[in-house]
Amino acid sequence: MITVIDYGMGNLRSVTKAFELFTDKVRVSTNPDSIYESSGVVLPGDGAFPQAMENLEKNNWIAPLKNYIENNGCFLGICLGYQLLFSGSDEFEYTKGLDIIPGRVVKFNHDNLKVPHMGWNQVKLEKESVFLNGIDDLSYFYFIHSYYPEVENSDWVIGTSDYGNVFPCIVGKNNLIASQFHPEKSHRSGLKIIENFSGLSNNSNNSLNR
């Protein structure tokens, strides 16, 4: 069962509907214990980083999430759910993140470009990932964000995009994949990521014991 985490940040319906194109084993959950019965976990989100971390902590998601990821569970982070994986963010004030990936989330600072970065942009695939099978290099994906991560270890970087500067927009290792763009809004290429994640997670045995 794939669990889409509901922690009060953003509309979950579009993400869930995208998964329902490929599997009937998907649910939205507000219960952190559901992680222990999940073959895959999705952390989506729109909004502010500090509020997101506050919500995760208040609703007791942080320890189960970190445990699941550290035990190599299939995990997909989307947009804000991507940024939360990093050590911290400068949004409003510095806020500690989940600290799965060493790095700091910072704001775009370009006088000649609009912020937020919103719309379609190409993604350069820097390395292979099973979650990206069937996706062409330089495919277009849909972005909407004002912040991006400065990653300390390039081994995490799977894909990059360019908006005034080149920034990492797909990161991952082992069974973790996360994207700054919205795969559920990115037509064929984005839905292919969701299809791949659905197949890989539901065909594996990632459920954890408490």
Catalytic residue numbers, as ranges: 79, 182, 184
| Whole-angstrom distance, CA of residue 70 vs CA of residue 101 | 11
CA angle 191, 28, 133 (to 5 degrees): 25
Question: Taking the CB of residue 17, how many other CB atoms lie within 10 A of it?
Answer: 11
Read off the tokens for 80. 């804000």
28-50 in b/e form (b: 16+ CB < 10 A) is ebeebebbeebbbbbbbbbebbe
